[in-house]
Amino acid sequence: MGCLSRIGCIVVLAVGGVAAYWLYGDRLPSVLSRAASGAASRVTDAATKASERLDSSQGARIASENDAARRTERAKRENAIVWARLTPAGSAGREAIARLSRRKGPAYVSLRAPELAGLLASGMAKALPRSASQTEVAIVDAQLLLRSVVDVRDVAGNGALRRLLGVALDGRDTLRLAGTLDLVRPGLAEYRVREVRIKGITVPPRLIPSLIDAMRRAVGADSLPSDAFPIPLPKAVADVRVANGKVTLYKAVVP
């Protein structure tokens, strides 16, 4: 009986491992690391509560300090991100493209989030759900971040995420995306989404393509990978690079 019990446990662990790898793929080590960190925090909290039972004043103080430290660290990371609202009225990005398009203009232009926001505004408005509002963009290292308030039902689609969210589908919430920006051809770039967060849930990577497919509405998206949004760009742009908190657009060769 003990042997059968051990075999059953091994089968359960194996199935769980396969399911985790299917959902998270190459990101499984980082996911496990975050899970381990969360478990360590919970162990610390449990120890603090035990301490609180032994010494109510000290235990409560330690728990409060630990919680405050975690909130401060999260706030510090978030406050370091510079967000810019996507608005067609933004002119800085268009001015940079105008310089790039001139025959004797610069070979490249580098854009921070405020300049990029004006450039991406019209394209993202067509790609995101119609319910999207207050859309903002940020650049962190080599990643392009985007957040927007949406109707959750527009994001969940009809697959696993809808089943996961269940009754939480009602209402609006902030959708947060992180990914890369690359040129597909003159006039078109793709925003490859690597991370998605909605309703406090970090969506497993394997579910991202179905989620993006449920959201994107732009004509011509069928030619792109299933995890990508189409981003129209001026044909004067020959290449795109995202690094060090900037997006650099390289000029096409003018014959």
Q: What pLDDT, in 10s, does the model give residues 52-90?
A: 554 556 667 777 777 788 877 777 777 888 899 987 655
Going by C-alpha positions, the residue among 147, 144, 177 that lies closest to residue 246 is 144
- Are both 29 and 115 inside the same structural domain? no
Return the C-alpha torsion angle 191, 193, 197, 202, nearest 10: -170
Compare 72 and 177 and report the one with higher pLDDT.
177
Residue-wise pLDDT tens digits, 212-234: 877 765 445 567 888 898 888 88
Euclidean distance between CA atoms 205 and 30, whole angstroms:
12
Query: CB of 26 within 8 A of CB of 15?
Result: no
pLDDT attached to residue 54: 47
Q: How confident is the model at residue 235 (pLDDT cuts 50, 70, 90)?
A: confident
* Averaged pLDDT, 132-158: 87
- Are both 192 and 236 inside the same structural domain? yes
* Chosen domain end from 60, 79, 98: 79
Compare 95 and 23 and report the one with higher pLDDT.
95
- Are both 64 and 151 inside the same structural domain? no
- Are both 12 and 133 inside the same structural domain? no
- pTM beyond 0.85: no
Say how many domains are in the chain.
2
Of all helices (H) and strands (E), which one includes residue 147? Answer: strand 143-151
Query: CB of 252 within 8 A of CB of 238?
Result: yes
Query: CB of 230 within 8 A of CB of 182?
Result: no
pLDDT at 160 over 60: no
Domain containing residue 175: 84-251
Quote the tokens at residue 98.
Answer: 């105008």
Going by C-alpha positions, the residue among 227, 214, 218, 78 that lies closest to residue 151 is 214
* Chosen domain end from 48, 64, 79: 79
Residue-wise pLDDT tens digits, 85-130: 987 655 667 788 888 888 888 999 999 998 888 888 877 877 888 8
Alpha helices in the chain (DSSP H): 2-24, 28-54, 56-79, 92-101, 113-127, 152-156, 160-165, 208-215
